[in-house]
């Protein structure tokens, strides 16, 4: 299986954040399905999008809709493009709804038919992660369907517990409430299923409405914010650095 080469996010995952994409959990953890896709020979994006639109109708009819976004590289700093993937798809919902959707996808004739069409159109490596939101500008996320997402993969430093990490993230999220520095969303992604080759213990996903807003954050780093980033890397987790993706929201059950 091809290596999972997304960096924070895709952490720059995200993420495909929506104020209600976390289903019944509100600000709690949710299921994030990551699909690394390459179109099969002779297939166009128009062909593929026709299938995806069929899937959206099928999911709504079967009461298993999910938040669905597609990402393509903007500023990749890893081997994402060289690995041969054309795009990344992110499907976010509750864990239970995700399981229910897969049961209907694999266990009904209509789902099986769509699955066969999907396999003929693209080769997609499917990964499952847990997504934990830290900061959400719910109004901005609901209104913005074309945005920028950064991924940054990190590994815990020796002696640091996840409890320590979560406490630090909670503190930093409170600071973003006061000064978002261009962000409209920040979450963490934790590898779960099929992600044994993930490039870190977790990823940061930051969401911006546009490139200008992403550069607001970069300016903040240049003007002294780098000290906070340095301290985070020294005291909590070592991070690879941001990769930036263009994200388009294709389906949001709540909007």
- Hey, what domains does the chain have and what are their CATH numbers? 23-251 (3.30.70.100)
pLDDT at 197: 78
Q: Is 98 helix (H, G, I), strand (E, B) or coil?
A: helix
pLDDT on residue 19: 39
Per-residue pLDDT for 2 more than 50?
no
Q: What is the pLDDT of residue 254?
A: 86
Residue 214 to residue 63: CA distance in whole angstroms: 36
Long-range pairs for 158-161: beta carbons < 8 A, 24 or more residues apart: 160/235, 160/236, 160/237
Angle at 195 between CA 146 and CA 89, to 5 degrees: 20
- At residue 85 the predicted structure's pLDDT band, cuts being 50, 70 and 90, is confident
Q: What is the pTM of this model?
A: 0.86
Report residue 167's pLDDT band, with 50, 70 and 90 as the boundaries: very high
The rounded distance, in Å, linking the Cα atoms of 126 and 102 is 12
Cα separation of 49 and 40, whole Å? 13
pLDDT (0 to 100) of residue 83: 62
Residue 15 has pLDDT above 70, yes or no: no
What does pLDDT average to over the chain? 87
| pLDDT one-digit tens code per residue, 57-78 | 999 999 999 999 999 988 765 5
Mean predicted confidence (pLDDT) in 234-240: 95
Maximal CA-CA distance, the chain: 58
Give whole-number Cα distances, 195 to 2, 202, 211, 228, in Å: 11, 11, 29, 29
For residue 199, how far is the Cα from the chain centroid? 15
CB-CB contact of 58 with 138 (8 Å):
no
Share of the chain above pLDDT 90, in %: 77
The secondary structure of 208-244 as a DSSP string is: ESSHHHHHHHHHHIIIIIHHHHHHHHHHTEEE---EE
């Amino acid at each position: 299986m091809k290596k999972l080469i997304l960096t924070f996010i895709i952490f720059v995952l995200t993420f495909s954040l929506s104020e209600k994409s976390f289903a019944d959990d509100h600000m709690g953890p949710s299921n994030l399905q990551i699909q690394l896709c390459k179109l099969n020979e002779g297939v166009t994006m128009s062909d593929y999008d026709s299938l995806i639109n069929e899937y959206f109708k099928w999911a709504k009819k079967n009461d298993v809709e999910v938040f669905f976004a597609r990402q393509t590289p903007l500023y990749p700093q890893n081997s994402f493009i060289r690995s041969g993937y054309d795009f990344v798809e992110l499907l976010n919902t509750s864990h239970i709804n995700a399981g229910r959707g897969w049961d209907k996808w694999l266990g009904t004739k209509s789902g099986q038919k769509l699955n066969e069409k999907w396999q003929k159109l693209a080769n997609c490596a499917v990964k499952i992660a847990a997504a934990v939101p830290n900061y959400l500008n719910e109004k901005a996320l609901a209104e913005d369907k074309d945005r920028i997402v950064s991924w940054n993969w990190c590994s815990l430093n020796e002696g640091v517990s996840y409890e320590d990490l979560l406490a630090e993230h909670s503190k930093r999220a409170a600071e973003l409430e006061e000064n978002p520095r261009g962000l409209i969303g920040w979450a963490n992604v934790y590898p779960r299923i099929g992600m044994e080759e993930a490039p870190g213990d977790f990823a940061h996903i930051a969401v911006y409405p546009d490139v200008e807003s992403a550069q607001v954050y970069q300016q903040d780093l240049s003007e002294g914010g780098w000290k906070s980033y340095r301290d985070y890397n020294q005291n909590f987790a070592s991070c690879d650095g941001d990769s930036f993706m263009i994200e388009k929201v294709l389906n949001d059950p709540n909007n």
